[in-house]
Amino acid sequence: MTTDEPYRWLEAIANRREYIRDQLKGGTPVFAFSRPEGVLLFGIGSGQSKIFEIYDRHGLAALGHPVDIEKIRQTVIEAAHLEGFNRAPEDVTLRRLLNFSLGTALKTSFDQIFSAPLMVECIFAEVGATQAQDALVRVSFDGTHRIAGQGVAVAHIDSINETAAATWLREQVKPEMSLSQVIVHAHAAWRALIADKAFAPVLGNTTVDDELAAAGRVVECALLDRKITRGSRYRALTAPEMP
């Protein structure tokens, strides 16, 4: 091995990271909120392209290449079902899924510089028996992940704007708000991120449907419902629950 090979590898990794970020520029942000009712997942896409069920208590919100999102989804689903079969459904935790399955798969994909990378940024959510037991985890394309604090998680292609959106939402979204009010705030943050503009106060009569329908986009919302105590807690929100 020549002395400059480690530097070539580091350069290749840096180029790979930049390439992935460039390819993700067209992706739109996704959001997750820990609420009294459960965990709310929000995204705006073309329909069933942003928000997914994973297992009984787990959901996924993602942006990126659709094929890569599906690969990630299938990887975690298979790991969850295997874990549930070998142990019990209630023993399937987000921490184990990320540490022993998804994190490894993403890191391996990212480090293999001669194969195509997985281009995805995502949020994994787990609903608990109480709001304090909810888990929102921000997962990046290279396998790194961190727990999102204060009940709000945002995934966006720009880390600075992502942090700003999460901070703004934590200030604006209150515990007493209804799910429809939270959705209105998520939509406001989404619009600001897409337009790269400052976050603006939300008006009381704001809706989320009109301009999106004209652009061929739809709001995707699901709740990991805390009131459901057995089986799948995941349910897509119905029209009366939407603003």
- Any idea which fold 33-241 has? Glutamine Phosphoribosylpyrophosphate, subunit 1, domain 1 (3.60.20)
Q: In this prediction, what percent of the chain has a pLDDT beyond 90?
A: 60
**How confident is the model over 123-170, as pLDDT tens digits?**
999 999 999 999 999 999 998 999 998 999 999 999 999 999 999 999
Helices 66-86, 103-111: crossing angle, 10 deg rounding = 140
pLDDT of residue 45: 85
What SS3 class is residue 149?
coil
**How confident is the model over 59-113, as pLDDT tens digits?**
999 999 999 999 999 999 999 999 888 888 888 999 889 888 888 888 888 988 8
Confidence band of 217 (pLDDT split at 50, 70, 90): confident
Confidence band of 116 (pLDDT split at 50, 70, 90): confident
What SS3 class is residue 69?
helix
Cα separation, 206 vs 225, in Å, equals 25
Q: Domain extents for the chain? A: 33-241
What SS3 class is residue 123?
strand
Across the chain, mean pLDDT equals 89
For residue 214, pLDDT beyond 50: no
pLDDT of residue 238: 83
Window from 1-15, 32-46, 164-178 with minimum mean pLDDT: 1-15
pTM of the model: 0.90
Task: State both tokens at 194.
Answer: 């897409």
Task: State both tokens at 23.
Answer: 């390819």
For residue 19, pLDDT beyond 70: yes
pLDDT of residue 209: 60
